[in-house]
C-alpha cells in the first residue's frame, strides 16, 4: 500500500506548542496533577484533542526525581501518544522544579495562532509568549 502525501491544499500543519509549569516540591502526586493541568490547558487553549497530538517531549529540571512527567500525561488520557521524558540542562541560577513541554500537533492555521501556556509560576520563563 502506498503512502498518502499531503497536498498543498491541505490546511493541516505540523506545529509545536510550548508550555511549562512549576512544582512546589519534588512530589509525584503534585507532578502528575501539574502536568495534567498544563497539557489540558495547552489542548483547550489551542482547540485541539488528543487525536491532533503527534508526540510530546517533557523535560524536568535536575531537582525533580520523584516521577516521570509522562505519568501526568497518561493520567489525562494521552495513552496512545508517543511521550518522551528528558532531563533539562542544569544551568546555574535557573528556575527550579520546572517541567517543560513541547507538544507536536496537527492544526489548521498559522504558527502565529498557537497559544503557548505557562502555569504555576513558570510564566517568568517566557513573558513574551504568555497570553
Q: Which residues are catalytic?
A: 18, 74, 85, 88, 100, 118, 126
Give the SS3 label for residue 126: coil
Which grid cell is 83?
511521550
Q: Which sign does the torsion angle of CA 70, 60, 41, 33 carry?
A: positive
Cα 73–Cα 93–Cα 30 angle in degrees, nearest 5: 25
Task: Pinpoint the alpha helices (H) of 10-115.
Answer: 28-45, 70-75
Cβ atoms 19, 2 nearer than 8 A: no
Amino acid at each position: 500500500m502506498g503512502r498518502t502525501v499531503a497536498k498543498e491544499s491541505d490546511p493541516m500543519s505540523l506545529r509545536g506548542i510550548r508550555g511549562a509549569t512549576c512544582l512546589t516540591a519534588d512530589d509525584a502526586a503534585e507532578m502528575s496533577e501539574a502536568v495534567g493541568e498544563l497539557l489540558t490547558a495547552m489542548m483547550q487553549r489551542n482547540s485541539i484533542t488528543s487525536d491532533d497530538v503527534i508526540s510530546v517531549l517533557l523535560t524536568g529540571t535536575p531537582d525533580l526525581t520523584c516521577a516521570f512527567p509522562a505519568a501526568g500525561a497518561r493520567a489525562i488520557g494521552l495513552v496512545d501518544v508517543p511521550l518522551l521524558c528528558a532531563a533539562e540542562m542544569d544551568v546555574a541560577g535557573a528556575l527550579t522544579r520546572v517541567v517543560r513541554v513541547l507538544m507536536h500537533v496537527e492544526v489548521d492555521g498559522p504558527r502565529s495562532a498557537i497559544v503557548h501556556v505557562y502555569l504555576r509560576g513558570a510564566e517568568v520563563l517566557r513573558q513574551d509568549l504568555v497570553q
